[in-house]
């Protein structure tokens, strides 16, 4: 609660009203499935996935004050550790029981590729005796719904059909594409703690081998359109099947895509991002 008479939310307290206003949730916020589903739809529509800070060599703090200043009050987005740390805090403030999980991303590698590092954060919510996989920060293929933690069952979300399958002693999340099933990531249900995320976050944000240091990835998922920027490609995939793809030719075009499509503020330095892509040798 705010200190009496100030109307200011303490830095270490979830600004629930501010968060709900940011994502446009105007209904009740109760620890119920309807609330969980509503927030999971609205969050990726309002707060985009983006890796601008690590791309520009800036730190990525995970404390609640920094996350709310950036993503709730500052109009920015973030990547998985930021999104799901914030989402976890919000859900817990509402009254949900939430466990942090971590995964090995498989979205951009071939099925026979060696193991990837555990650098993707997701959540498990326990509700009425059932566990739900929640993830508002998987850049490249954002999800708009929590998923029942049940193996081998095809589950329909607002945008796609997904399933959870056993992969050795891990669980794989797959999404159905026109070309067949594609694995997003694989994980275990071992609880993960804040210190574990700090370590993985440091690697993702600062290690020279991290793709987020040399590639631009940004995405926003609304009810009708999936907006995606991958380096200098800007793609809009619509629910009716239409796909519009643009090759970004300048920093001005990038700025327009980041603000009009991704919903980021005009203060984002598109010139610096463009120069960073040049320095990284990105051609498209």
Query: Which residues are catalytic, by number?
Result: 80, 120, 135
Q: Which of 105, 63, 107, 58 is nearest to 82 (CA)?
A: 63
- Which strand (E) or helix (H) includes residue 201? helix 194-206
Evaluate the CA torsion angle 181, 127, 71, 260 in order and state its sign.
positive
User: Distance (Å, rounded) from C-alpha 235 to C-alpha 261?
Assistant: 10
Burial class (CB in 10 A: 0-12, 13-18, 19+), 253: middle
Sheet with 225-230, side-by-side order of all strands: 49-50, 217-221, 225-230, 233-238, 243-247
Helix (H, G, I), strand (E, B) or coil at 16: helix
């Amino acid at each position: 609660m705010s200190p009496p008479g100030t109307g200011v939310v303490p830095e270490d307290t979830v600004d629930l009203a501010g968060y709900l206003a940011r994502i446009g949730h105007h209904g009740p916020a109760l620890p119920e499935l309807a609330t969980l589903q509503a927030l999971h739809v609205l969050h990726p529509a309002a707060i985009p996935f983006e890796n601008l800070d690590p791309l520009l060599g800036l730190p990525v703090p995970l404390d609640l004050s920094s996350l709310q200043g950036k993503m709730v009050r500052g109009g920015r987005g973030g990547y998985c550790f930021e999104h799901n740390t914030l989402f976890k805090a919000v859900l817990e403030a509402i009254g949900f029981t939430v466990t942090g999980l971590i995964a090995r991303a498989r979205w951009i590698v071939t099925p026979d590729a060696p193991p990837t590092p555990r650098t993707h954060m997701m959540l498990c919510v326990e509700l009425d005796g059932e566990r739900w996989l929640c993830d508002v920060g998987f850049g490249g293929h954002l999800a708009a719904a929590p998923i029942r933690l049940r193996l081998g069952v095809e589950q329909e979300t607002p945008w796609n059909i997904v399933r959870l399958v056993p992969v050795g002693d891990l669980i794989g999340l797959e999404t159905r594409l026109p070309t067949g099933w594609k694995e997003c990531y694989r994980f275990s249900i071992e609880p993960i703690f804040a210190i574990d995320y700090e370590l993985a976050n440091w690697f993702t944000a600062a290690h020279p081998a991290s793709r987020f240091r040399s590639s631009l990835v940004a995405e926003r998922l609304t009810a009708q359109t999936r907006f995606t920027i991958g380096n200098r490609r800007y793609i809009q995939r619509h629910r009716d099947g239409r796909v519009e793809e643009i090759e970004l030719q300048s920093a001005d075009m990038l700025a327009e895509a980041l603000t009009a499509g991704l919903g980021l503020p005009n203060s984002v330095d598109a010139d610096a991002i463009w120069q960073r892509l040049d320095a990284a040798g990105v051609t498209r």
